[in-house]
Structure 1
Amino acid sequence: MKTEDIALFHRIVETGSLVEAADILNLPKSTLSRRLQALEDELNVKLFHRQSRAMSLTASGSHFYSKTTPLLAALEQTRTELTGHKSDVSGHLRILIVPVPEQLWITRVIFDFMDQNPKLSVELIVSAEPQNMIRNNIDLAFLLEDTFNETEMVARHICDEKIHFFASPDYIKNSPVPISLEELPNHNSILFRYPNGRIFNNFPIGEDKVLTLKGNLCVNNLEAILEATLTGRGISMMPRPYVQEFIDNGQLIMLFEEIGPFEGKCYLVYPSRRFISLASQRFIDFMMNTLEQHKQSNAGNIGIAAHGLIHR
């Protein structure tokens, strides 16, 4: 029995479809079907109820999936322990990045990792839409806090996002300048929707007070927020480094400079109930080591996180 065929079986289970699994794995459907059939023949059991558009596990299939999940994880861990950092990293990584100001920096770290591991192939998925990591066979993801399932993921703190309030001179010209944060609910705010669907419209003040912001425009990426702010459509919340050039040339005005910023967090996330490949483990180590070096040298504008593991 080949472990590769068991891993393919897992991908079919997690996508719920032979066609989707074949597309994600970039394999012909006929190849996947043939290898699944060979696995069933070897086990002498039927693993799936085959339907026209979907596949559901039989009782035997469900039992096989639950028993082989820790086995695959243990096998991958043993391989890592035996090879250490001596063996070459190969295979394929699918990495999801939610659009953040550090996106380019993260991408360059990924490129550096690829240069050191030429046998590895990588697929980058940049999306502000919610993605089921297991169903879509995503190995690793860079996500904002509160946008992933805390009970099913392991997350490592990568960077902090310091968010400030901004408006254009045109907006200020047509609306009274808010003197205090308490006045913000009376203004038109440009709202942000997280990838998990939640709207970021509750802004914490102090330890026990929250402002509920209102607005007639809600978007899910920074580029659209910036454009809406520049054209005077409302007050927005954005990281200062992302808009510094527009502050310098007078196109944006930062409000409440005397008030400390709101701090959001970005994490490197992976499923806790799924075996982690050697390539994923090596990349996680590489990213955290790069962050540590960055932290020590104080290079760049990225908010460096503490080097620690956070179990969500």
Structure 2
Amino acid sequence: MSDPDFSWHGANASLTMPVDQTAGPWLQPSIVLCLLAILLLASSLIANILITISILCFPKLRTNFNFYLLNIAVSDIIFSVSSLGNFCPLTYYGYYPFSSGACTAWLYSEFMFSAMTEWTMAMVALDRLVCISWPMFYRKYQSSKYSVIIIAMVWIWLHLLILPSILLDRATLPDDAASERCSIDYHAHPGWLITCVILVFWLPETVTITAYIRIALKMRSRKKFVDTPSSNSLDSDFRQGKNEEQPLRLEGIAKSQTNYAVDTLSTSMRQRRPNKDRKAFRLLSALVLSVIVFCLPADIYYFVAALDSKWATHVFYQLATFSTFIHCFLNPLLYHAYSEDMRNAVKSLFHRSS
């Protein structure tokens, strides 16, 4: 199909960028889009590398929550590198200049690591929901090893969904078409692709939003209750006047002082825990909002293309792709903005290098 701006044959097949004869060489649409993509992806690459190094180098950051963020950062790094080497040449030349094998690798990267980010966000939301809803269970059974196992299971799950779809599509594509285009043929296996898109992209979005709403409701209900420190036995005796009626015993005083110290420590821990949960909730809120705003266009694009490829215009594709680039760039900024420990770790990296 064609539109006033682009000649778009099939779904993501080949494109012809318009050339403005009155504009200078640096103002051509293809060059402008390439420069924007390079700026976003290079910034995303550097920022996510800093986050990855910080989590790996500082033991304080190796928490369950941060292991999920590490997985997102690694996925964004690989996605950025792959897009720099493939999306920019495609946009500049107007066709895919590399081999069919390189195209297959890019399609794998584009689907796999976009989906990995969304599925990891779902795991983050579920992790926070368990922490808020069943704190004793969470502290007893959750560990870094548990988080790594969950992440590994997500990797296996996504490979089982994505790899067959891509390999099946590339295997049934004629050789001449495989060398000229770099996209999924949505006409060939629509039922399989629709199912895959729902499971890969829409299911984690639904899980993330549902878990976040549950967390928000529980956090709101917590504000209605104010934890008051329980009184120790010595304070209780003074309030009831028992100290005037009973003889003073040294062992009773020692026991009361011990109870007071334990109670004070318990109160301090109870006060720190909600504060820590609130900070994690603020970061989670920012991450969920980022996923909804910047990943939803790509999710809609893939679903619409699977339903009817004529709707998958190039303008739609560019919007969805650049939204994903912005999301990759925004994630590490949110980690840095909402996590004091992350900020201190990044600062320490620069202090070490200086």
Give TM-score scaled by structure 1 length: 0.23
Larger helix share, 1 or 2: 2
Give TM-score scaled by structure 2 length: 0.21
Larger strand share, 1 or 2: 1
Q: Which is higher, the Rg of structure 1 or of structure 2?
A: 2
